[in-house]
Amino acid sequence: MDQILFIVFAAIAVLCGINLVLQSHPISSALSLVGVMGALALIYLQLGGEFIAAAQLIVYAGAIMVLFIFVIMLLNAGRERETPRRLWVRWAGLPLLFLFIALMAYVVQRILPPSDEVRFGSYTFGTAEAIGTRLFTTYLLPFEITSVLILIAIVGAIVLARKEVE
Amino acid sequence: MPIPLVAGVPFSWYLILSAILFALGVAGFLFRRNIITVFMSIELMLNAVNLSFIAFSYHLKQNDGHIFSFFVMVVAAAEAAVGLAIILTIFKNRQTLEIDEVSTLKN
């Protein structure tokens, strides 16, 4: 059952990822990216990451993608123009991509012991309680620095996007 | 070959899925011409790395990877806010979203 669920969600993620790269309209790409993120959230859940799965859906698929779609609608971004590319880029790009994936798969298969299997429910450190305890004890300083980072990002975004006033 | 109904998922499959998604993100980053689509490809790459973090976290029976991917999400949110503000400014000044036409820093 675990394997079937993984294959289904992985297939959804990969197909949506391919669609993201191939679509020429940014709205189609954005909706494909939402699909990838939803599928990945379910895979996180299978790996025992309850908190991260919820955060993925709320922060990524919810907040960030709404921001993207908002900007696409605001700028009225249309279909992408086809620009001519160099010959070797057109012919060597896809084989290089497959070579990279094949190399990664080979290395991963060689390094990891084949007996190691993932089963749903055997990992219990991913609950909100466990993550919260860790976040507010061991990782307290990074957490606080992150809040400063977000503050800087908010100020930066407002400064960049405001209208100039004399 | 164990029957798929009772077998667990081999751990390496998660890393291979992560590699595939990362490669797709790289391809989108290199081949697309629309600045928003390029930005979305970067988000796809970040998601692929998050999957690796979570998978290794399961493998090592710790939750540090979850916290790291949580931080990646937070940084991605901040990055999206600033990046989209930059895209808005570029569009306001140049009326274009094609990255080939935004080449002031070239040469």
Q: Mean pLDDT lowest for which of A5-9, A127-131, B97-101?
A: B97-101
d(CA B50, CA B53): 5
B84-104: buried (b, 16+ CB within 10 Å) or exposed (e) per residue? bbebbebbeeeeebeeeeeee
Residue of A5, A19, A24, A44 to mutate, testing the B interface (most B Cβ within 10 Å of its Cβ)? A44
For residue B41, list chain A residues with Cβ-Cβ distance below 8 A: 20-21
pTM of the model: 0.89
pLDDT at A38 over 90: yes
Which pLDDT score is estimated for A56? 92
**Residue contact B88–A75, C-beta within 8 A:** yes
pLDDT band for position B98 (cuts 50, 70, 90): confident
pLDDT band for position A144 (cuts 50, 70, 90): very high
For residue B64, list chain A residues with Cβ-Cβ distance below 8 A: 134
Which pLDDT score is estimated for B4? 53
Backbone angles phi, psi at A156, to 5 degrees: -60, -45
pLDDT band for position A19 (cuts 50, 70, 90): very high
pLDDT at B3 over 70: no
Q: What is the mean pLDDT of chain A?
A: 87
Q: Give, for B9, the enclosing helix (H) or strand (E).
A: strand B9-10
User: Could you state, in order of their start, the residue ranges of all structural domains in chain A?
Assistant: 2-126, 127-166
Give the pairing type, strands A117-118 and B9-10.
antiparallel
Over range A71-99, report the average pLDDT. 79
Q: What is the mean pLDDT of chain B?
A: 87
Identify the CA nearest to A80 among candidates A27, A126, A4, A121: A27
User: Could you state, in order of their start, the residue ranges of all structural domains in chain B?
Assistant: 33-96
- For the segment B55-87, what is each residue's pLDDT rounded down to a tens digit? 999 888 888 999 999 999 999 999 999 999 999
Closest CA–CA distance from residue B37 to any residue of chain A (Å):
6
Residues 6+ apart with CB under 8 A from A53: A41, A42, A44, A45
Over range A104-121, report the average pLDDT. 80
pLDDT at B26 over 60: yes
Structure tokens at A7: 């294959």
Instruction: Please give the CATH number for the structural domain made up of B33-96.
Output: 1.10.287.3510
**Residue contact A109–B91, C-beta within 8 A:** no
The listed CATH number (1.20.120.1200, 1.20.1250.20, 1.50.10.20, 3.90.1170.50) that belongs to domain A2-126: 1.20.120.1200
| Percent of chain B topping pLDDT 70 | 94
d(CA A82, CA B78): 31
